[in-house]
Amino acid sequence: MPNEILKLSVWGILIFLIQIAVAPLLEIKGIKPDLLLIFVIAVTIRRGSYAGLAAGFAMGFAQDLVSIGFLGVMVLAKSTVAFWSGKWLENRDIALSPLGWLILIIIAALSQGFLVSLFVLQGSQVSLINNMFYSVIPVSIYTGIIGFIWALAPLGRHQAARPTSLRIRRKG
């Protein structure tokens, strides 16, 4: 278990550095994919809701530290989305296809964008509806497409396993 935590931590740091260095190069008319959310959902799919919660906290905190926005907003959004995605998957005990990844990541990105918008747009002249249509939905679709490609890659196939439940199973 500690070995896997170390491995996920190294992957998380690598994805974070890629998000900082490469995502701006993937920008299309101000829209960048959220590679950190894809990683958090991948951890959630593979290890369950509590591991996703921890990954969401770590990636959200790292993202908050380098952004100029409100500290804690991305922590809250990524952790919440990861935990509830994991709970939903654990209750269904299903394996996701690449199309399932696409749908899950788009829904997760929409949920994250909505949560962030609720905090960031307080007292702003920008309406929630405009922000959703011009920013959150395009980012969600773009992130979903990148997540779909991730799911098709050999690394993504390993992470498309059923989520592990933290319930204790009886032997016998």
Average pLDDT value for residue range 83-87: 93
Residue 167, domain member (yes or no): no
List the structure tokens of 44. Answer: 């959630």
Average predicted confidence (pLDDT) for the chain: 86
- Percent of the chain topping pLDDT 90: 60
Question: Considering the domain boundaries, does residue 100 fall inside one?
Answer: yes
Indicate the SS3 state at residue 109.
Answer: helix
Asked, for residue 172, whether it belongs to a domain, the answer is no
* pLDDT value at residue 154: 67
Domain range for 71:
2-159
Could you give the CA distance from residue 118 to residue 28 in angstroms, rounded to a whole number? 24
Write out the two tokens for 58: 């770590």
The verdict on residue 165 lying in a domain is no
| CATH number of the domain encompassing residue 52 | 1.10.1760.20
Confidence of residue 161 (pLDDT cuts 50, 70, 90): very low
Domain membership flag for residue 44 = yes
Task: Tell whether the model's pLDDT for residue 39 goes beyond 70.
Answer: yes
Query: Can you give the pTM of this predicted structure?
Result: 0.85
What is the mean predicted confidence (pLDDT) over 164-168? Answer: 45
